[in-house]
Amino acid sequence: LPEDFKQALPVLEEIEQAGFEAYFVGGSVRDHILGLPIHDVDIATSAYPEEIKKIFKRTIDTGIQHGTVTVLLNDASYEITTFRTESGYQDYRRPDKVTFVRSLADDLKRRDFTINALAVDLNGNVIDKFDGLKDLDKKIIRAVGQAEARFHEDALRMMRAVRFQAQLNFQIEAQTAQAVADNAPLLSKIAIERIREEFVKLLLSQSWKTGFADFLKLNLSEYCPGFKDQRVELSELLNAEGTFVDEDAAWTAIGYALNMNHPEFNRFLRDWKVSNKVREASVNSLDMLHLFENQDYDLWNIYKFGLDNFERVLQLCQMLQIEFDYVDLKQKVEQISIKNSHDLAITGKDICEILGVKPGPIIGKSMSQIERAVVEGNVYNNFDELRHYLLSNQ
Ligand code: ATP
Ligand code: MG
């Protein structure tokens, strides 16, 4: 057993001692077998949430209606979920109501893909009811049971298929892929937040191009905001080199591929319900990227945008193979002699004295005038020069 599982063993042991079953399940089992780092160890059990709460002293009701209780033990926390089935799917969405069951097999059956339907017991034995190990070995994403039926139960699983494809660099098995292509319109039933979560994970993956190519090929893109009839434009991104550094970079690349202007891109990101922070950063980045593409190196603009952001956009331009004179731009930007107004060799107090005025809005105005002149290289950042500049620009 890997270290993460070993640490969690006492949890399994305590549950078993109380007369119930408990297993490691889901992503951690998959990632462990693949030799990948494990993030969170999920545990599934035959004990009901109330029973788990009796076994452990410190618990948190994380999602008790779905059967999940967090157990705190030895400075770590573990999510423990009761075996469950999900019946009564309505409208192609995962049901809110679940039924707790006592059988591991029933719990594994409701999971999305064979590679996610593995369990490991406290002795390290793998329980593999759906040939998940074989699919892991063949690098295949295959629905548990009838793919078509599984996507009807929960259409988000189609997005999860391409997301895992990108994260693991796997292929989607032929029948499962066909079922995605056939049922892609069902994606319109799914809340955009849930689609976005999978889509962003896809884009930020090492093998994002593999997942993105199938996202387009299997028609999923047609049912996402702003992507209808944009397959040709979006597939341009498959020529990019490398990976996205963060969510902002990924959205910016998409805005670029779709040839969006500022308001269009803003609207598009709102439709995807991207966070305000990410939306604002992405919109700014796309503006900047367009300036570079047009060889419009406005130093004041770049400076206000922030030099860290500048580097990130430059990196994105390289990734997208946008052509312009990088060396020229970098040289110009390197000549900016200050990072922010605090680096100016003159203060507001100095300006008051030089001009013989009291503090007020005029000082702020003079300050930014000086700042801009320094950034644009029109005056040296040294006290005497700035003083002279100030007096001669009154
Ligand atoms: P990650 O590394 O992203 O956490 P994961 O496999 O753990 O990957 P989660 O979304 O955390 O993915 O879900 C945990 C497990 O729950 C999955 O491995 C799968 O067995 C099951 N699962 C999650 N979402 C679904 C779904 N929509 N339909 C069926 N099973 C699901
Ligand atoms: Mg997980």
Structure confidence by residue, pLDDT tens digits, 153-187? 999 999 999 999 999 999 999 999 999 999 999 99
Token pair 């770590």 in the structure block, residue: 76
Apex 199 CA angle, 86 and 173, nearest 5: 65
Write the residue with the smallest CA distance to atom 10 of ligand 1: 27
- Return phi, psi of residue 282, to 5°: -70, -40
How far is ligand 2, taken at its centre, from the CA of residue 291, in Å? 40
Asked whether 156 lines ligand 1 (CB < 6 A), one says yes
- Classify strands 59-63 and 84-85 as parallel, antiparallel or unpaired: unpaired
**Residue of the CA atom closest to atom 4 of ligand 1:** 27
For residue 112 and ligand 1, the question of a CB distance below 6 A is answered with yes
3-class secondary-structure state, position 212: helix
Strands 99-100 and 68-73: unpaired
Instruction: List 44's β-bridge partners, or say none.
Output: 23, 81
Q: Residue type at 218?
A: L
- Atom 8 in ligand 1: which residue has the minimum CA distance? 27
Q: Rounded to an integer, what distance in angstroms lies between the CA atom of residue 379 and that of residue 393?
A: 12
Q: What are phi and psi of 345, to 5 degrees?
A: -80, 15
**Residue 127 contacts residue 118 (beta carbons within 8 Å):** yes
Contacts of residue 137, defined as CB under 8 A and 6 or more positions apart, other chains included, come to: none
- How far does the centroid of ligand 1 lie from the alpha carbon of residue 114, in Å? 11
Region 333-338 average pLDDT: 92
Q: From the CA of 28, how far away is ligand 2's center (Å)?
A: 7
Q: How many Å lie between the centroid of ligand 1 and the Cα of residue 282?
A: 29
Confidence band, pLDDT 50/70/90 cuts, at residue 88: low
Residue nearest to atom 17 of ligand 1 (CA): 26
Question: Tell me: the pLDDT tens digits for 342-357?
Answer: 999 999 999 999 999 9
Q: Answer whether 2 contacts ligand 1 (Cβ < 6 A).
A: no
Tell me the two tokens of residue 378.
Answer: 């029109």
Reported confidence tier of residue 96, pLDDT bands at 50, 70, 90: low
Question: Average pLDDT of 3-21?
Answer: 95
Sheet-wide strand order for 22-25: 59-63, 68-73, 76-82, 42-45, 22-25, 118-120, 126-128
User: Is residue 157 marked as binding?
Assistant: yes
Q: Is 27 annotated as a binding residue?
A: yes
171 phi and psi angles, rounded to 5 deg: -105, 150
Read off the pLDDT band of 93 (50, 70, 90). confident
Question: Cβ distance 200 to 224 under 8 Å?
Answer: no
CA 111–ligand 2 middle distance (angstroms): 12
38 C-alpha to center of ligand 2: Å?
9
360 is in an annotated binding site: no
pTM: 0.92
pLDDT band at 90 (very low <50, low <70, confident <90, very high): confident
- Cα 358 to Cα 265, 292, 351, 362: the distances in Å are 44, 41, 10, 9
215, amino acid identity? F
93 is in an annotated binding site: no
E strands, 11-82, are: 22-25, 42-45, 59-63, 68-73, 76-82
Return the structure tokens found at 390.
């100030």
- Of ligand 1's listed atoms, the one at least distance from the Cα of 157 is 27
Specify which residues 60 forms β-bridges with: 70
Nearest ligand atom owner, CA of 194:
1
134/234 Cα distance (integer angstroms): 34
Q: Which residue has the higher pLDDT, 64 or 16?
A: 16
Closest ligand to C-alpha of residue 157 is 1
Q: Do 318 and 326 form a contact (C-beta atoms < 8 A)?
A: yes
216 closest CA partner among 164, 162, 296, 293: 162
> Is there a binding annotation on residue 154?
yes
Q: Is 30 annotated as a binding-site member? A: yes
Report how far ligand 1's centroid is from the alpha carbon of 27 (Å): 6
Collect residues with CB below 5 Å from ion ligand 2.
Answer: 27
State the pLDDT confidence band at 71, using cuts at 50, 70 and 90. Answer: very high
User: Which residue owns the Cα nearest ligand 1 atom 22?
Assistant: 111
What confidence score (pLDDT) does residue 380 get?
96
Task: Name the amino acid, one letter, at 272.
Answer: W
